[in-house]
Amino acid sequence: GENVEQHPSTLSVQEGDSAVIKCTYSDSASNYFPWYKQELGKRPQLIIDIRSNVGEKKDQRIAVTLNKTAKHFSLHITETQPEDSAVYFCAASKGAGSYQLTFGKGTKLSVIP
Amino acid sequence: DVKVTQSSRYLVKRTGEKVFLECVQDMDHENMFWYRQDPGLGLRLIYFSYDVKMKEKGDIPEGYSVSREKKERFSLILESASTNQTSMYLCASKLGGTYNEQFFGPGTRLTVL
């Protein structure tokens, strides 16, 4: 089955700096890679996603890159703000066309004012 | 605006009790999911349902069962609760297909004494 590894588990950055979170996946047939953000005490919410036929996607200060050959994808947050502090989860579809996602273990991002 | 609700935010049960967790979504989503969230372990899929009366095991189904008699409602059942089932339980729903966003409920914090 699919296995998703996420690094680092914790990350602290100064406000205004960039943050990068990396994930690797095992199933080369996976074709959908979403990222979820979970603020303290709240439910996870989708912030960005990428499909396997795209190498990069940007949405304002957030970008995701995908390297299918190496089977890894990354979340990039630029100009970090205190409200970016949260736990971020990467996920990968369980093979092509699957309804299921396998989630990474999460990265706790702290943005220091 | 998608709304996913769960029957309880906090629940305390005794070992051996039968426990029902309910999830309701109001957006006519085909797919529904139950996850448990534990610190350092991320989101792990217990069961999912791709349509009414249809269910499939996720990664950690042992000790759990589910029921989906109506499209909007997905129930998680702990037949005989044990202390190692103390956890945060999150329900999610989405439209059918691979690329659609999963919308999460607020979670139920279950403590088994």
How is B69-105 classified by DSSP, letter by letter?
EETTEEEEEESS--GGG-EEEEEEEE-SSSSSPPEE-
The pLDDT of residue B71 is above 80: yes
Q: How far apart are CA A74 and CA A14, in angstroms?
A: 20
DSSP state of A17: S
Range A48-53, long-range pairs (CB < 8 A, 24+ positions): A48/A75, A49/B99, A49/B101, A51/B99
Mean of the pLDDT values across residues B76-93?
97
What band does B97 get if pLDDT is binned at 50, 70 and 90? confident
Partners of residue B29 on adjacent β-strands = none
The rounded percent of chain A whose pLDDT value lies above 70 is 98
Residue among B44, B98, B104 minimizing CB distance to A93? B98
Structure tokens at A96: 């092509």
Mutate to test the interface with B, among A100, A102, A107 (most CBs of B within 10 A): A100
Backbone angles phi, psi at A82, to 5 degrees: -55, -35
Q: Are A95 and A2 in contact (CB under 8 A)?
A: yes
Structure tokens at B18: 């039968």
What band does A98 get if pLDDT is binned at 50, 70 and 90? confident
Q: Return residues 37-96 of B near A (CB < 8 Å).
A: 40-45, 48, 50, 58-59, 90, 94, 96
Report the pLDDT value the prediction gives residue B98, as an integer from 0 to 100.
81
Report the pLDDT value the prediction gives residue B2, as an integer from 0 to 100.
66
